[in-house]
């Protein structure tokens, strides 16, 4: 049985204000990080390819944690943010209980996330905001942002406003998180006013834009610019097309408050389903900015209804100059010249140094035994309360 010790902490600047630390002895059968390949040398031409260097699993919450209805709670990592020597991870499933949260911190052992959360973000704002999909740090290092999916809204359902929220906080101070462009409806505060701006930016599909869409990516660029990445757009949540759409806006800071310009514009659109050989259900799932090469690294993922184990993700490179020109992104390849892929549903990508990406996967309810993972190169075993990470060497 896992022994858990909790105590109040955080006197350092990287702390979650008001959080508890959780230090647990890993269960005996915990899957350790799996070395996959030797990192390429700096002068090796493979540095312009992608190499899966390691993978591992981590728990979002203790094994056996249940939802209100008594069913097992699923670990579904959807966004990540680099915080010094740790990573802030968001799962898009609500939690039950005072001592855990959908948002938590994993310490890094160099490039490898540790298997047990070091701290949970227990502030109410992180518990009431529904389904955070991506996070990003501003290029100047002053601010951090987190976005939900903005994928549902009803006049008669105020509780859905929480699915339409953009959070921000001073870097490394998530305990000071606030809601951008706030509006209040029957006691629920959200950024729901941004929803119409996001929709209107895609008005090529009609005067008001698509009736349904889902945001899954967020990245900050220089000059106080934010890009929101749309994964799905269409007539409804049952009738949509997977996409890689980027919407652009800017933000300003006055008296410590961040306010977005609500005049969003569609800056880029690419359709992965038009690429021969890629699964038709491939859409954007996360974005990160590479300041060293002034480019975006885009993460797309797919899942098929026919086979629950048929999931995976791809990486793409898009220089900022090509973003402005509308040039298609280049799929990142492996050392054999084939599209680099990982057999997990990648949902969050961050750069942890100039040569490495860290990807967190949301496999939903798909669990894998050690025997299952042996069937597909790059797969890693996971239980229902765990997520999987992959360390990718890149250049």
Identify the structural domains of the chain with CATH numbers, from first to last: 29-394 (2.115.10)
5, 7, 13, 14: CA torsion to nearest 10: 30
Q: What is the pLDDT of residue 48?
A: 65
Q: What is the pLDDT of residue 41?
A: 43
Q: No. of H helices and E strands in the chain?
A: 4, 28
Whole-prediction pTM value?
Answer: 0.88
Q: What DSSP character marks residue 210? A: -
Paired with 66 in beta bridges are 72
Q: What is the pLDDT of residue 203?
A: 87
Q: What is the pLDDT of residue 24?
A: 39
Q: What is the pLDDT of residue 139?
A: 97
- C-alpha separations of 29 from 73, 184, 390 in Å: 20, 47, 20
By the 10 Å C-beta count (0-12 exposed, 13-18 middle, 19+ buried), 205 is classed as: middle
Average pLDDT of adjacent 10-residue blocks, the chain of 395 residues: 33 42 37 43 54 96 88 94 96 87 96 96 94 97 98 92 97 97 94 96 82 98 98 95 98 96 96 93 98 96 77 96 95 94 97 96 88 85 95 89
């Amino acid at each position: 049985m896992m022994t858990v010790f909790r105590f109040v902490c955080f006197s350092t600047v990287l702390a979650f204000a008001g959080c508890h630390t959780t230090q647990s002895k890993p269960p005996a059968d915990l899957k350790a990080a799996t070395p996959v390949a030797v990192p390429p040398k700096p002068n090796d031409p493979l540095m312009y390819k992608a190499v899966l260097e390691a993978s591992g699993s981590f728990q979002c919450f203790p094994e056996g944690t249940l939802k209100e209805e008594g069913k097992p709670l699923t670990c579904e990592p959807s966004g990540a943010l680099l915080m010094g020597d740790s990573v802030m991870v968001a799962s898009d499933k609500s939690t039950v209980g005072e001592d855990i949260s959908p948002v938590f911190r994993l310490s890094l052992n160099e490039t490898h996330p540790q298997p047990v959360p070091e701290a949970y973000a227990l502030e109410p704002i992180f518990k009431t905001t529904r389904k955070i999909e991506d996070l990003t740090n501003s290029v100047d290092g002053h601010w951090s942002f987190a976005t939900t999916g903005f994928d549902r809204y009803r006049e008669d359902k105020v509780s859905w406003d929480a699915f339409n929220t953009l959070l921000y906080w001073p870097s490394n101070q998530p305990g000071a998180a606030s809601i951008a462009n706030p509006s209040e409806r029957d006691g629920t505060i959200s950024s729901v006013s941004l929803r119409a701006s996001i929709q209107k930016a895609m008005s090529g599909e009609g005067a008001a834009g698509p009736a349904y869409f889902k945001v899954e990516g967020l990245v900050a660029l220089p000059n106080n610019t934010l890009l929101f990445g749309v994964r799905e757009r269409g007539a409804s949540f049952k009738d949509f097309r997977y996409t890689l759409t980027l919407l652009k806006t800017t933000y300003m800071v006055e008296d410590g408050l961040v306010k977005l310009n609500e005049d969003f514009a569609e800056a880029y659109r690419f359709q992965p389903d038009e690429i021969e050989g890629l699964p038709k259900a491939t859409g954007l799932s996360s974005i990160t900015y590479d300041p060293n090469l002034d480019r975006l690294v885009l993460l797309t993922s797919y899942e098929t209804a026919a086979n629950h184990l048929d999931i995976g993700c791809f990486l793409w490179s898009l220089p900022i100059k090509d973003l402005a020109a509308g040039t298609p992104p280049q799929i990142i390849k492996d050392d054999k010249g084939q599209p680099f892929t990982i057999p997990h549903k990648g949902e969050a990508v961050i750069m942890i140094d100039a040569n490495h990406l860290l990807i967190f996967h949301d496999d939903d309810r798909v669990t894998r035994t050690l025997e299952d993972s042996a069937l597909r190169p790059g797969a890693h075993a996971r239980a229902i309360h765990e997520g999987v990470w992959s360390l990718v060497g890149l250049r």
